[in-house]
Structure formats: structure tokens, C-alpha cells
A and B are shown apart, each in its own frame.
Chain A
Amino acid sequence: MLNPEMSLDMDGKPAALRDGFGKALLELGEKDPNVWVLTADVSESTRTHWFAEKFPKRFVQVGVAEQNLAGTAAGIAACGKTAIISAFGAFNPGRNFDQIRVSICYNDVKVIIHASHTGITVGPDGASHQMLEDIAMMRALPNMTVFVPADAEEARKATLAAHSIKGPAYIRTGREKFPVFTTEKTPFIPGKANVLRDGSDVAIFACGVEVYQALKAAEMLEKEGIKAAVINVHTIKPLDRETILSYAKKCGLSVSVEEHQVNGGLGSAIAELLAEENCKLFRHGIHNTFAESGEAPELMKKYKLDAQGIYEFVKVKI
């Protein structure tokens, strides 16, 4: 049963998470004259073109130059602005880690880093473009907050939240359209995981597009009498220790699900926490491999990151 307070719409229309990000930029541009947006030759793909059309004076196109993208944003932010940079995850933060580390995080300036194409659901472009190591990189950085929103509406909220908190933030979204199952009323508090479904047999901790799949898997498990809790860990850093620990203890068995390498991502973050508390965790995600070209649903099936795959994973572990 879904937690009614979470106000979910499981039949919601599909939308790309980057659309939620792009919409939030328009809201921010309207309400805060100190918001600047920068991109590296991917304005339409990142949905920053909406902001560019409306606020051309606060939009900077740097060309195919992600290192300079991060550095220029740091300079703009050093003047008291909020600078939002957006490009493909493979290059931002894949290409410009050093610039994010020193020009942004060590300076502790207000730059929001948005990765628009992450995970296997990038699809046909293949492994070089399917960023699967970004959470690991970003959550290791001091001063950084890391958001992995679950759908377009949450991507919008995460973007607004990234603007309102102190210091730099990272927002991970994908390219593909997915059902929008959270609503305007679903709470989004940075650092506070959302329990979307209560349960007592297994706690499924998921982030990003895997949250919806985990909810579907929980419905399948329910039919077999397995009560799975589903927790949306939309903030990877700082991690919501309290909620995660309480569900891990309550259920006795935990599973993490992410569209990312299991080493270094959400699963690792939770494992670090649970190891200290003697709780059992199985991590589901990409296991030390590059993926391949294909349509997003095909890849989710092949890498067992669709509802069926999560269902099977839990069944084996329980």
C-alpha cells in the first residue's frame, strides 16, 4: 500500500527528468536575478534553452568545453551569483572533475552541476555516454550535496532545493521519459529520504528512475505475501541515516537499487552506514561493467533494472 501522505500518482504521464530541471530554471530565473545558467553546446538536450530564450543576458554558452564550463561558473559564483551548469553526465562531471573539485568545491561557491544524460537509459548512444560513475565522484567531494531525483517533478523540486541550500550541489537526471508519479504535494526535503511504501520483510532503497521500478516490484512482491518497504533516497549526500537505519533494522534485510555502478554509488553509501550497524544489505545496480547500445527499456530489462529484475533480485535474496 502506498503511503497516502506521499501523494503519488502511479499512472502519471511520462516526462523526461531533464524537463523538470528546465522548468525549475525558468522559475528560478524569474524569482532570482542572480541566477545564471551555462551550458556546453547542449542547450536543447539539457533543457537550458528555455532559460536562454527568456534570460539571454544571464545565459553563457561556452562551446564544447566542460572544464571551462565549470571554471567560468566558479568565477561567476565568486561574484555572489548562483551559477548553474548543465551538460551530459559523461563530461560534466566526467570530464571536469578537477575543476569541480577545486574551482567549485574547495572555493565553496554556489554552483549547481546538472548532469542531463546519465545511466544506461541514455540508451542507443552506448557505453561512452552512459555515465555510471558520477554519484561516486560527486559524493566523495567535501561541501557537495548530491541529489538523484526520481521523476520530472522531483527533478524540478531538487533544482529549486539545490538553489536554496548553501554551497555547491549536484543533480543527476536522465534523458528518457518516465512516468511522473510524485506530485506537487509530495514532500522534498534535502537530506530526508521519502518512505513511499511501508513494509516489514525487505527495505528497498532506491534512487532516480529506479524508484518507480522498485514501487512496481513491491507490488509484485505483495502478491506473494512479501511486504517490501520502498524508500526514495533522493539525497545521496548528506545521507538520511535515521530513516535508512530504522528501515534496515525493522526489515532485517535491505536492498539498494540504482542505475549506477554498485561500487561508489547509493549502494556503497548505504553499505558504509549499515556496516557499522551490522545490518544485511544486497546491492543491485551495474556490476563493474560498461553497458551497451539499445533502447532504454531493453537495457533496463537486460541489466535487471526494471521492476521484474528488481523483483527477481529481491526474491533470490529473501
Chain B
Amino acid sequence: MRIKVTSLKQLQLIANTIRQDLVNMLEEAKSGHSAGSIGLADIFTALYFNVIYHDPQNPQWEGRDRFVLSNGHVCPVLYAVLANAGYFPKEELMTLRKLGSRLQGHPHRGTLPGIETSSGPLGQGISQAVGMAIVAKAEKRKWRVYCVMSDGEHQEGQVWEAAMLASKYKLGNLTIIIDRNNIQIDGFTEEIMPLEPFVEKYKSFGWHVLEVDGHNIQKIIEACEESKAIYEKPTVIIAHTIPGKGIPFMEFLTEWHGKSPTKEQAEEARKILIEGRKEIEST
């Protein structure tokens, strides 16, 4: 099964809820990665409320699509969509990063329903996604593999090892979505270690490459649908995003990579998001 919300307005409202949840969670946790998590709210909403086949009541359902989060530090956004989809009670979101919580600072397979793989060390998710897709292809399974990655982690050699393997096996059942937000810890990717020409890199590795506005939910869904139609190649969707999107004082700023909002900042962010919600509702 899948939770298929088709109304764009409805999806935008969910993304707004996710952003509010993220602000609350990160404020309460007093640490965590804000920019990436918040910037990915639209992509995760599209995936979990339209694209991916999954069943929150039966997380281990054999027919589910496998979702691998490679850049584990943005896990708050994964936790938020999982809770909103019904995997666990929403109250639990407020335990993020706390002692005894199932919401570990970086995800742990087996601790929380809906988490397919542990992550945190960058560059490891894609290999695991490729392994899953190899099995699915060999055994002619219908399920697909989706993997979200960051741009910064493409500086890890392992990513390109896995990209070659996916291409060798012609993994048409694999879709990677890259959070192209241009930031990493020490600054802008193009200053720290340029990734461009990004599209050409993936093309030369034998991938089908798409580019989308990572805040346009409709376009994200369309790109994912297109990836399903490509049989002979794995697909990568380079999603251009704004780090911290929706909360102007966070947007585009590297400093928000790894910090959480103070009480005052969270208060301001909530006001902005509630305003934004009204705007969506009135369209």
C-alpha cells in the first residue's frame, strides 16, 4: 500500500506540519542539524505521502519500497514524516536525542520502526541501497529502492564506488535523491571541494539524471515517477534546495548546518510557519 495524497495543497500543508514539528523537536533537543532537515521537508513529504509504497501499520511488510537515508544527520525530518505517517506516536518526536529515546541522534536500524539502515558516517547509504536493489533485481521483486543523500557526502570516495556498481548492474529499480543545498560544515560545497559539474559526473557514470526544484512537491513526484519508467539505468534526482527553507533567518546559512534554534528563534520560526500555513490554506 501507499499513502497517496494527491492534492498539492494537502501535501504542502503536511510539509508545513513537518517543518513545525522539526522546529519543536530541534528546540527541545537543544542540538541537531536544522538546515538540512528543514530544507528536506518537501522532498520527504512527497516521498512518504505520495511516492513510496509502505505500510506504517506493518513496517516490515515484504512488499515495501526500501528507503535508505544516507546523510543520517538529517534524521529529524525522517522521524517527523514517520510519526506523521503513523509509525509511532507524535509525542515521541519530542524525545529526539534524549537518553532512552528511540529517536537516536543518528538513525539506528532496529530501534525505531521504519528505519531501514543505521547511518551517520557519510557515504555509506548508497552502497546499502545498491545492495538492496541488486537483490530486488535478481529476485524480480516489485519493490524499489529510494535513497536520499546530501551533496557534501559526494566528496566521499565510497559514493562513486557505489555509483559505478549501480551502473554496472543497470539498477533501474534504484532512485537516488540528492539534497543539493550547496552547504556543508565548513562552508559552501563549491569552495570546500567543488562538486560541479554534478550532472555530468553522474551522466558519465551511466546514470539517468534529473534536476528538480526540491521545494516543488509536484515536480519531485513527477521526477520520481519518471525514474520508475527508466529500466536500463539507475536514476539520480538532483534536487536543488535552500537549506533551512521556509524559515528566512536560517535560509542559505552554513552556520545552521549543525545547530538547533533557541527558544526565541523557535518562537519566531513558529510564527513564520503558522503564517505560511494560512497562506497555503487560502490558495
Q: How far is the CA of A65 from the CA of B164 in the complex (A)?
A: 10
State which residues 42-77 of A face B: CB under 8 Å. Answer: 57-58, 60, 62-63, 65, 67-68, 70-77
Contact of B129 (CB < 8 Å), options: A58, A75, A83, A109: A75
What separation, in Å, do the CA atoms of A36 and B118 have in the docked complex? 21
B106 vs chain A, min Cβ distance (A): 9
Which of the segments B39-47, B89-97, B119-127 contacts the partner chain? B119-127
A78 contacts B161, CB within 8 Å? no
A68 contacts B138, C-beta separation under 8 Å: no
> Which of the four size classes fits the interface of chain B?
20 to 34
Within 8 Å of chain A (Cβ to Cβ): is B199?
A: no
A99 located at the interface, meaning its Cβ lies under 8 Å from any Cβ of chain B in the complex: yes
Main secondary structure of the interface of B (DSSP, over half): helix
When the two chains form their complex, are residues B162 and A68 in contact, meaning their CB atoms are under 8 A apart?
Answer: yes
Binary contact track A102-113/B, C-beta < 8 Å → 1, others 0: 110011110000
A79 CB-CB contact with B under 8 Å: yes
Give chain A nearest CB distance to B155 CB in angstroms: 14
> Do B131 and A78 touch across chains, with their CB atoms under 8 A apart?
yes
Interface of A is mostly: helix
Cβ-based interface call for A81 (8 A): yes
Report how far A74 CA is from B120 CA in the complex, Å: 15
Q: Are B131 and A76 in contact (CB under 8 A)?
A: yes
Interface residue from B120, B123, B131, B158 paired with A75 (Cβ < 8 Å): B131
Quick one: closest B residue to A62, CB to CB? Answer: B165
Partner of B127, one of A36, A58, A75: A75
Whether a CB of chain A sits under 8 angstroms from the CB of B50 is no
Q: Contacts of A108 on B, CB cut-off 8 Å?
A: 109-110
Out of A71, A76, A77, name the residue touching B124 (CB < 8 Å).
A71
List 18 interface pairs A-B (beta carbons < 8 Å), by A numbering: A36-B135, A65-B161, A67-B123, A67-B158, A68-B127, A71-B158, A71-B162, A72-B127, A72-B162, A75-B68, A75-B131, A75-B132, A78-B116, A78-B128, A98-B121, A99-B127, A99-B158, A106-B118
